């Protein structure tokens, strides 16, 4: 379903989803050609969680994210070219090339820290929330993490701290393992987490928790809005699990694009290789959103095609910018590690 928002906002949500998708797809050939090295993780398939969720926040709220952070930063409005330059380790990167894909941050957007350690951010998120409460500045913290994070003891410790102190923090767990593609098993259980459904864990700590479909932008928007309101009213932490189906391009350790995205796929996936077709047909949140926009007469197919063209142009420019950006001077490594 579509979020209950004016048309302009809906189109902007759609545009951000396109930005994320084409940004992420552009990384794969850059990595395969060796333009950057190291491990990296794409947000494809989770756009309808991050984009509407983050749109519910105030500009001064805090966000924490993980190894799978690109989509969150872009959803919040980070410049693709500077994020890309960071991933390529260049001087114009968001963090001057010191962080890379795992650690891209943008403090002006509320992203203070992004950790590649599973669950590393969950305790940290109770800290910004604690500070906001102490300083009475009304700033909320959203902690975005994967389902695997709940397996680390850091998560329950942080839930306990958040619950006891009624901290203003939203735990938004993106479970990209629906249908067992990831760590979860189809039959309502998981091979790696006995506390399943995952919402059982925060509930044990008396944190209100709900499970929603993360492909449903409208549901994500409504659920997050409501949770954010409760937190702002002082009701303490909230937990949302948003389930998505793992993008077939990330089933291996090194991503590959089964089929380049184009909005026309929303109406015809016959060109997609068999193995990946079902995902693009029914699980791709971007294509679902595009269809819903057209069906609700909020946009025509042409509107979307032209929006997508613009985005592709922007991403192409970002790639050009990032590839042209110089590496930092080697000696920069010895500087700026203490404030």
Partner 1 sequence: MRELAYYEAKFEALDEIMAADQRVHLINGTFLSLSPHRHVFQNLAKKYGDRMMSPPISELGFCGLATGAAMAGLRPIVDLSTGSFIYEAWPQVANEAANAYSMSGGQTRVPVVFHLFHGLRGGGAAQHSGSPQAMLWNCPGLEIAIPSSPRDVKGLLKTAVASDNPTIFVDHVRLLDLRGEVPENDKPIPFGVADIKRAGSDVTLIATSHTVQVCLKAAEKLAKEGIEVEVVDPRTLVPFDLATILSSVEKTRRVVIADETHQSCGVAAEIAARIAETGFDKLKTRIRRVSTLDVPVPYSPPLEAHIGPSESRIIDAVRASVA
Residue 119 Rama label (left phi>0; alpha psi -120 to 50; beta)? left
63 beta partners: 111, 142
User: Which residue among 131, 185, 204, 212 contacts partner 1 (CB under 8 A)?
Assistant: 131
Residue 191 sits in the site that holds its own copies (CB under 8 A): yes
User: Which residue among 35, 204, 211, 212 contacts its own copies (CB under 8 A)?
Assistant: 204
Residue 91 sits in the site that holds its own copies (CB under 8 A): no
Distances 153 to 122, 156, 157, 163, 240 between C-alpha atoms, Å: 10, 6, 6, 16, 19
φ, ψ at 179 (rounded to 5°)? 65, 20
Q: Which two tokens stand for residue 321?
A: 């910018």
Residues 6+ apart with CB under 8 A from 74: 16, 19, 20, 23, 80, 83
Q: Which stretch binds ligand TPP (CB under 6 A): 17-25, 147-155, 306-314, 329-337?
A: 147-155
Give whichever of 117 and 164 is closer to ligand TPP, judged by the CB atom.
117
Give whichever of 97 and 248 is closer to partner 1, judged by the CB atom.
97
In angstroms, what is the minimal distance from the CB of 141 to Mg ion?
21
Residue 260 sits in the site that holds partner 1 (CB under 8 A): no
Residue 147 sits in the site that holds ligand TPP (CB under 6 A): yes
Residue 222 sits in the site that holds its own copies (CB under 8 A): no
Q: Inter-axis angle of helices 47-55 and 7-32, to 10 degrees?
A: 130
User: Which residue among 89, 100, 148, 214 contacts ligand TPP (CB under 6 A)?
Assistant: 148
**Residues in 287-326 at the binding interface with its own copies, rule: CB under 8 A:** none
Q: Which two tokens stand for residue 113?
A: 């820290």
**Residues in 224-263 at the binding interface with its own copies, rule: CB under 8 A:** none
In angstroms, what is the minimal distance from the CB of 26 to ligand TPP?
20
SS3 15: helix
Q: Inter-axis angle of helices 47-55 and 285-295, to 10 degrees?
A: 60
Residues that bind its own copies (CB under 8 A): 151-157, 159-160, 163-164, 191-195, 200-201, 203-207
């Amino acid at each position: 379903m579509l979020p209950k928002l004016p048309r302009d906002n809906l189109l902007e949500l759609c545009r951000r989803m396109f930005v994320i998708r084409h940004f992420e797809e552009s990384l794969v050939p850059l990595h395969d050609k060796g333009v950057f090295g190291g491990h990296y993780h794409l947000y494809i398939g989770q756009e309808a969680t991050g984009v509407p969720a983050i749109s519910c926040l105030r500009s001064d709220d805090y966000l924490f994210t993980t190894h799978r952070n690109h989509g969150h930063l872009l959803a919040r409005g980070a410049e693709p070219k500077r994020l890309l330059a960071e991933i390529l380790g260049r001087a114009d990167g968001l963090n001057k090339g010191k962080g890379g894909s795992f650690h891209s941050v943008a403090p002006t957007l509320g992203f203070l820290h992004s950790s590649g350690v599973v669950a590393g951010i969950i305790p940290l998120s109770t800290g910004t929330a604690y500070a906001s409460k102490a300083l009475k500045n009304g700033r909320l913290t959203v902690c975005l993490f994967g389902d695997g994070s709940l397996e680390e003891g850091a998560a329950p410790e942080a839930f306990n701290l958040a619950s006891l102190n009624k901290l203003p923090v939203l735990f938004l767990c993106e479970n990209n393992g629906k249908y067992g593609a990831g760590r979860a098993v189809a039959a309502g259980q998981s091979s790696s987490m006995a506390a399943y459904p995952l919402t059982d864990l925060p509930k044990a700590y008396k944190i209100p928790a709900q499970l929603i479909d993360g492909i449903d932008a409208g549901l994500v928007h409504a659920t997050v809005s409501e949770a954010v309101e409760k937190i702002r009213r002082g009701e303490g932490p909230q937990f949302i699990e948003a389930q998505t189906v793992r993008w077939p391009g990330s089933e291996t350790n090194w991503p590959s694009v089964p089929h380049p995205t184009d909005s026309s796929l929303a109406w015809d996936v016959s060109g997609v290789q068999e193995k990946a077709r079902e995902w693009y047909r029914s699980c791709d949140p971007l294509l679902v959103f595009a269809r819903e926009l057209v069906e609700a007469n909020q946009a025509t197919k042409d509107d979307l095609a032209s929006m997508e063209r613009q985005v592709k142009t922007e991403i192409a420019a970002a790639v050009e910018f990032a590839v042209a950006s110089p590496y930092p001077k080697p000696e920069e490594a010895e500087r700026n590690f203490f404030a």
